[in-house]
Each structure stands twice: as C-alpha cells, then as structure tokens.
Amino acid sequence: MKGSAIREKLHNGERTYGTHIASLMNPVAATMAAAKMEMDFAFICTEHMPIDRTEVSRLCHLYSAHGVSPIVRVPCPDAAAIGMVLDAGAEGIVVPYVETVDEVKMASAAIRYRPLKGKLLKDALTDPSKLPEETHTFLKGFNQNNYLIIGVESVPAMESLEELITCAEVDGVFLGPHDITTSMGIPEDYANPRFLDAVEDVILRCRKHSVGVGLHTQLLSLEDRTLKRFLNAGMNWILNGADITVMLDAMNAQLRTLRAIPSSQQTTCVK
C-alpha cells in the first residue's frame, strides 16, 4: 500500500494495520518480513531504537518494494531529521511529543514542501500563493506519498489537540500510552479509568476533524473490551505491538506446549 492510500484511509476512517519493526533488521529476515507479513505499514523507530541511516534506508526500500508503506518515527520535531528519513525512503513520518503549533507547522512543511528550505520555505508557510504554479505542481507530485502523524503524548498536547491538528495538514495522531500516563500522574496504569477516558476523548476529537488516530498496543496486552472501546470510538491506525514481542509470545507458547507433552520413555542412567 502506497503512502497516498494510507493517508486517504487515515482521513476517511478506514483502518490500516502494521507493527513496529524492532528486530527483523538483517537483510534476510527483513526481506522475508516485507514479503510475507500481511500489513499495510511498517513502523520504524529512530527515537528509541539504536538504528542508523543505512539500516533505515534499507528497511524503507525493502518494505516499499513489497507494497508496505514505511513509517519512520524521527527523534524529535526537527525539519532536518524529517528530511533525512524522507531521503532514506520513508513515506510516513511520526513526530514524537508534539505540544506546539510551531512544531506541527514545521513538520507539515518539511514533508509537504520538500525540498524547499530557508526563506522560500518560510515564504511558502506564510503565503503558499507566492510559489509559482509550476512549483506547486512539482511539490505535489514529489511528495504525493508523504504523510504526517504527530505524537500526542502529554496532558498539554491533549488539551491543545484541536489547535494542533487543524493548524496545518496533519494526517494522523499517535498516542503514546507510557508518556501519557506519566504526564497524567498515573505512570503505566493503563487500566486507570482516567487514562481510558482520555484516550477515547482524543480519538473522538480526532475523528471529528477527519484525522486518523492510533495507539501503540499489543492485542494480547489489551482487554478485548478496551480494544473494542477504542475501535468503536474511531481508532483506525492500528500499530500492533512489535515483531519481537509477537515472536516471544508465539515461541513461548510453542515451548510450553512442547514441555507439556509427556515423555513416552523412562530415562535411565547407565553406569
């Protein structure tokens, strides 16, 4: 699925599915994952994961070549960091921990007006009509598969949500449970009604403005009723766990099954 299709789904409320690529980074495993995993997008994190530009570019091109849209979370709200991963082949950009209008406008401009920089970029932000029609046409085609997801991960960001998602072209919102609960004074208490109510409220407000919204979670770690509550509220960017966590669950389940098989022979010790 190309970035333009992901962007359309984010806005119209259709669900799109993917996972965090945290361990399948060697060329053989990454190629197998890109070709065999039934997902719409691959989430690649450069904020918390020790991954370099070469690895990012390799993963982006592998997934893109197999019809999976590569999304990269940059380390911070920075135009240079966004431009770097777009050059590496990213289509989606997740900008973490956004709290101000200026951060959103900068991030949106970095992916909508790439490769403009400096004064021309500032002029475009102030008054897009100043750009020649030929430039508008070029930029639209050049950046047709780019899309922006902003990280709403704090109480100030949730309080300013409408302003953040309407001040510029924002395609989606990423909710970070760990940072949100910490900001709320209930660290890692993901079952707390205050947290659940806050997430549902953000989802409803995002969908009111036709902006996609998602929560990083894992199916097995969420109660069915909680997941259904968020999905019913309109959550449509489904970032399901990470490759390594899913593999751990699957492997441990298989090992427990093997250990439960009774031995058919009594082991004896021969001296």
Q: Is 19 helix (H, G, I), strand (E, B) or coil?
A: strand
Domains of the chain, earliest start first: 3-250 (3.20.20.60)
Low-confidence ranges of the chain (pLDDT < 50): none
Nearest to 180 by CA among 216, 149, 215, 153: 153
Report the pLDDT value the prediction gives residue 221, as an integer from 0 to 100.
Answer: 59
Report the pLDDT value the prediction gives residue 199, as an integer from 0 to 100.
Answer: 96
Q: Determine the Cα–Cα distance for residues 54 and 188; give it in Å rounded to an integer.
A: 34
Report the pLDDT value the prediction gives residue 270, as an integer from 0 to 100.
Answer: 55
Report the pLDDT value the prediction gives residue 33, as an integer from 0 to 100.
Answer: 82
Residue reference for tokens 């920089």: 117
What interhelical angle do 53-65 and 27-36 show, nearest 10?
30
Report the pLDDT value the prediction gives residue 28, as an integer from 0 to 100.
Answer: 81
Report the pLDDT value the prediction gives residue 129, as an integer from 0 to 100.
Answer: 81
Report the pLDDT value the prediction gives residue 23, as an integer from 0 to 100.
Answer: 82
How does pLDDT run across 174-190, given as a tens digit for each residue? 999 999 999 999 999 99
Report the pLDDT value the prediction gives residue 187, as an integer from 0 to 100.
Answer: 95
